[in-house]
Structure formats: structure tokens, C-alpha cells
Amino acid sequence: MKIISVVGARPNFMKVAPIHRAIKKYNSDHSNLTTQISHLICHTGQHYDEKMSKVFFEDLELPKPDYYLGVGSGSHAEQTAKVMVEFEKVLLYEKPDLVLVVGDVNSTIACSLTAKKLHIKIIHVEAGLRSFDMEMPEEINRILTDRISDYLFVTEKSGIENLKNEGIPDENVFFVGHVMIDSAKYYLPKTEKSIIHNDLGIDKGEFVLVTLHRPSNVDNKSSLKKLIHFLNTIGEKRKVVFPIHPRTKNNLSKFGINELLNENVILSEPIGYIDFQALIKNAELIITDSGGIQEESTFYGVQCITLRNSTERPITCEIGTNQLLGTDLEKAEKTALDVLGGNLKEGSIPDKWDGNAAERIVTIIMEKCSL
């Protein structure tokens, strides 16, 4: 059986790494059988900066990709179309039995669509999540990818409901837990040895970690300016660490508002996987608009404020440590100061976020996806 897994952007790498490891384990456990899995990795190049891509391959012990498509940045249409044109060549040459995609980035939908038109079956890992906000490019990618996928692996129970409501047959849907949490657990010993806090001059448990990169927050001058003022206010109470995404960095310079950030806000380049896990684990509070960080903070039991109007990961608010506060920064400031004053949201770890999702996926692939 030949499977091609697709990675494109930063949030994909830590999801494919445990699947690659689980496939290697399957092959060594079944070395006497004729059915072995040949696993190829195709990197579309949607993210290409060393700090957005290469460092993750090193941290996550991923092999060099078998294919690198080098598509780079562009408009949504350009990026999606370039991935499709290049990925089609790979599929025609390799003729895989299955294409495995993760998450909701442009590479996810581009590769799914390309495979489907060639009648190659699609596995979607992290299926079923819905923000119900069609202005998010990721929501469009999620809905369309799920609609054409053959095997849908779900991280939380809301995903099962969403897929049922959209008419996806139950027998194609599998609740397996979360491969991203497999990575968080697997690398915990390394995360605990990270010395990133020394490098940044902060103390464990006494800083606020910030990530902001959603177009709805950072592509508009006035909302980005308001966010900077908000961070400066939080910076009066605790040191703020702000590893900055290229989109946000570009916009700060484009709008000429770089200098508004005060000295309590420590700006850094994007940070590699292990060091970033250490920052999440050791933060007193996280302020974010990311999807995955909502889940990682729930896993580590760290307080999280999400500056978005909707979340496709409701379990993180229902039982985790996440609070969804929209873009009302007054409310966010009050909640942040409350948390820093000791008013904490209790949380627990969602069902099946136990580090074994990738092994479940590989077992199901070998049982169900028979050719």
C-alpha cells in the first residue's frame, strides 16, 4: 500500500510526524507480512521560511520530504492552483493508493481536490471541525475537504455531529483523538529540557505568550493598532513574549506601527516546535487567535484567551482552559488581568487526547481502507 502524506504550512508538520512514526512501527511489527505501507511525504512549500518549516522537520525528526513543490506565497487562488498543478504531476508518477491530508490550510484542499479528480482515495485527519464562519479561508477548506474525503478522522466529538449534519456516512467517520497531542506528549521530555526562557530573559510561569496572525486581526491597520495597545497594557503587569508570524510582521512595517510596541513586549522571530511547546507549557497565560494553540493550552492545562468570535474547537472551551472572547479588547483585558490575579478557569483533557491517535489511524487504515 502506498500513501502520500501532504504537509504545507507550519501547523501540518506536528500532525504528520506521529503518523509517519506509527507507519514505521506498523511496518516493523508486521515485517513478516506482504502488506507493508510505503509512506511518502510531499511538502507543498506553502510555508518556506527556515523558521516556519525546516526547523520543524529537525525538531520533529521528520525525514526530508520525498517531494518539495516549492509553491510559496500568493493569493488564495494562485497558491491553491499552483499546488494542484504540481501535486498532480506527483500523483500521476507515483500512483498512490491513498492521499493523506491534515488540517485546513490551502495545501489541504488543493491536494484533496487533485487526488479526488484522479479517483485516489483521501484520508482527512482532523476532520469535522467547524467555526461556522465562512469568512475564514480555513472553514471553506475544511468543509470542502471533508465533503470529498473517503476516511475522516475526528479529534473531538463536535466533529462527529458536524459531519453527521452534513450527510457524511457514519461508516467513513472515526473518532480517534488528536495527532497534534501525540506530538506534544511524545516530545514532552525534550520540551522540559528547553532553555528558551533563559534565552528570552523570562521566568517560567511568569509571562504571557501571545500569537496573532489571523487576517481578521492583523490585516487591518486600526485593529492591529488596538491589539498593540492591548499588549502594551498587559505588558505593564507581566512580560509578554510575542513570536511574530511573517504576515503580522509584514503588516506592522506596512502600516508603520512597529514602534508602538513598548519594551515589555518581547518580539521574537517564529520559534521552533520544541521551544514553542516549552513556552506554551510554562506560560501563565496565552493570548492567541490560532486554532492549534487553543488545543495545546488545554492539553497542558494553561490558561488561554482566544481573540476570535468563533472556534472550530469548542471542546477547549467546554472542558478545557480556553475562553473565547471575540475581538472586544476591553473584555479581553479584564479577563486577562483577572487570570493574572489568580482567577483561573479549571480544565481537563478531552477524551482520547492520550498520545495514541496516530496508531489508531494506522490500524483503521489497514483494516478499512482495503483496496
Q: Which residues are catalytic?
A: 213
Contact 324, 365 (CB under 8 A): no
Positions in 1-20 near ligand UD1 (CB under 6 A): 9-11
Distance, CA of 155 to CA of 127 (rounded, Å): 7
Q: Give Cα 323 distance to the centre of its chain.
A: 18
Least Å distance between CB 53 and ligand UD1?
Answer: 6
Give yes or no for residue 213 binding ligand UD1 (CB under 6 A): yes
* Given 46, 114, 155, 322, the residue binding ligand UD1 (CB under 6 A): 46
The verdict on 360 binding ligand UD1 (CB under 6 A) reads no
Of 28 and 253, nearer to ligand UD1 (C-beta) is 253
Q: Which of 5, 44, 106, 294 binds ligand UD1 (CB under 6 A)?
A: 106
The three-state secondary structure class of 116 is: helix
Interacting residue with ligand UD1 among 27, 68, 94, 137 (CB under 6 A): 137
Comparing CB distances to ligand UD1, the nearer of 131 and 162 is: 131
Give me the least distance between CB of 93 and ligand UD1, in Å please. Answer: 25
Residue 321 CA to residue 303 CA, distance in Å, equals 5
Position 138 contacts ligand UD1 (CB under 6 A): yes
CB atoms inside a 10 Å sphere around CB 353: 23
Among 68, 247, 262, 337, binds ligand UD1 (CB under 6 A): 247
Closest CA to 248 of 279, 295, 297, 215: 215
- 49 contributes a contact to ligand UD1 by CB under 6 A: yes
Contact region with ligand UD1 (CB under 6 A), list: 16-24, 82-90, 246-254, 331-339 = 246-254
Q: How many residues bind ligand UD1 (CB under 6 A)?
A: 19
Spatial distance between the Cα atoms of 104 and 342, rounded to a whole number of angstroms: 35
Question: If binding is defined by CB under 6 A, does position 48 make contact with ligand UD1?
Answer: yes
Minimum CB–partner distance for residue 73 and ligand UD1 (Å): 3
Under the criterion CB under 6 A, does residue 114 sit at the interface with ligand UD1?
no
Question: C-alpha grid cell for residue 199?
Answer: 534565552
> Is residue 63 classed exposed, middle or buried when 0-12, 13-18 and 19+ CB atoms within 10 A define those classes?
exposed
* 57 binds ligand UD1 per the rule CB under 6 A: no
Q: Does residue 105 interact with ligand UD1 by CB under 6 A?
A: yes
Comparing CB distances to ligand UD1, the nearer of 313 and 352 is: 313
Q: In 111-133, which positions are buried (b, 16+ CB within 10 angstroms) versus exposed (e)?
A: bbbbbbeeebbbbbbbbbbbbee
- The DSSP code for 66 is S
Q: Is 28 exposed, middle or buried (0-12, 13-18, 19+ CB in 10 A)?
A: exposed
